[in-house]
Amino acid sequence: MIDFPPTTLRDLRVSYDLDNLTEDKAPADPQELFEAWLEDALVHQLPEPNAMTLGTIGLDGAPTARTVLLKGLDAQGFHFYTNYESRKGQEMAANPAASAVFLWTQRHHQVSIRGLIEKLPPAEAESYFASRPRGHQIGAWVSEQSQVIPGREWLEARQLEMETRFADKEIPCPPFWGGYALRPTQIEFWQGRVSRLHDRLRYTRNGSNWKIDRLSP
């Protein structure tokens, strides 16, 4: 058992007391509320405000999770990009159900999403890829994402190889790299409140509309 210092993990807590999240303030479309909270995170200059924990179902049936960056949001869903052959790419191909969590700790906001995964059109991935810094473009070609490699030296040698290959050339989007949209079927908004009596509003898709329920904290 770990012997923690005087300030132990069980004593770490924050008292939440920001704006209330009530049904009368909740828009009919959860995307509107999400965009307002994301804008709030940007205004308060929170680090990596578009970071989201993406949960998928492993090929062995166990859940897996990692952090990715939200790069787009529209009627199709929450957009992110990755290597199709990565672990998450393989998992999403085998089972397109996924979840995502955004946590803006300083603002006492959390958004949890459940839904289905769809690939974005190649043209959309190519457009986004072209907007990335050149080093990031090289990195996409270098990385055999999630595969076991001999060591850092292998990665650096492959980087040099790709830099030489694309020297003075426009770098195309790799055929094994592209975008996904998490199309939500359920979105829950969590707002921290005093005495742990937090606000939790859950939106559940009902055809073209959304049903709103309050959950006990």
Catalytic residue among 134, 165, 196, 214: 196
**Cβ 184 vs Cβ 205: under 8 Å:** yes
The C-alpha atoms of residue 44 and residue 23 are separated, in whole angstroms, by 25
Query: How many other C-beta atoms are found inside a 10 Å radius of the C-beta of residue 109?
Result: 24
State residue 201 phi and psi, 5-degree precision.
Answer: -115, 125
Our answer to whether residue 200 is catalytic in this structure is no
Single-letter amino acid, residue 151: G
β-sheet bridge partners, residue 73: 78
Residue 180 token pair: 């996904």
Helix residue ranges, H only, 13-133: 30-43, 87-94, 122-131
Annotated catalytic residues are: 196
